[in-house]
Structure 1
Amino acid sequence: MKIWLDTIDIDAIRKAQAMGVLAGVTTNPSILATSNRDVEAVLGEILDAQSGPLAVQVAARGLDGMLAQARRIAGISPRMVVKIPATEDGFRAMSILEREGISTLATTIFETRQLALAALAGASYAAPYVNRIELSTGNAFEVLEQSQRLLDAYGYKTAILAAAVKTVDQFLRCAQTGVAAATLPVEVFQQLHASSEDIEQSLRKFDAAWQSNGLTRDAALFKA
């Protein structure tokens, strides 16, 4: 399962990119509003900081507004993915934009039926809100499993990008459902790759064994 970051934190994005584990970045209006900066400038920095797609959500609710905003977003870079809400006009917008070659991500998904419609509309991605579904109905991972089975059964191109993942356990449970990716807040990603006492204890033992032979951590393993 691939990892995206749900953030505009450039340092965090660069670190994940340097680790070689970052597939892309998602944003939403709430996240972008916190920057208090020109939105396109922020998006440009994110594109420069990582090599994957960048998902940005339209603010409009009507079809014409969604299409106009989506086309402007797509014009920023070929790597842009346009997030569209899973509404009647949203599904119409996804269908039109995908036919124009613009990648879309169906957002605000809470039920399998919404994801099915996004797939039928041709969306490149669909993002069920894992934690919010879990808090509401307690069946978030059943929704993911059902949705993935549906996509597999009919060969839809839509990839599930599990969103609103709030814990490492939720991330691991998402992975077990077979979905393509999850987008994580920075704090969950940090917990995912954090060191542990078990790791540190093992490293101390290796250091002690190395030093007992008169070697240091930086000693060459092989002589020239």
Structure 2
Amino acid sequence: MRKLVLASNNAGKLREFSSLLAPRGFELVPQGSLGVPEAEEPHPTFIENALAKARHASRLTGLPALADDSGVCVAALGGEPGVYSARYAALNGGEKSDAANNALVVERLRGVADRRAYYYAALVLVRSAHDPQPLIGEGLWWGEVLEHPRGDGGFGYDPYFFLPELGKTAAELSPDEKNRVSHRAQALAVLIGKLDGF
């Protein structure tokens, strides 16, 4: 197994990525277990933030690193919360939690007919901190924001993210179903297609 540092301490992401990468010979190690603090995410785009996180983890461990930056973008909110998805409520005077983030999105959509949204994921894999040609994969997952949560799986905005073609929220999907269709699964499929010779 080849070791990759996951530039995240998110247990949900570790589960998702590990299940998709283990069959391809990669062992993901969360950065926290190697004493790596979280990187700053000051950039306005998902790709820039993912690259900053991957370089940070690789620099501090000397290992190849995988990072993602992902979030939900809501059409009627001008693309918000976007890169601020994980701290949306905190940036607006609330607490930093999934519940607070979801409550704020639902509140801002109250009375709005257009509920379209998409999850976006940018994955970046660097061979070293100074890798001049990082591998990048992107994925989009379209849905709608519900007023009330459904399902107890997933994390983040999943209980409110409804998938019309499946008739379920992301939180109602089994891990296997989600790993086939999610934004991260799509981005990882693109990335895996670039792994020859890694």
TM-score for both structures, normalised by structure 1:
0.24
- Radius of gyration: which is bigger? 1
Structure with the higher helix share, 1 or 2: 1
Instruction: State TM-score, norm by structure 2.
Output: 0.26
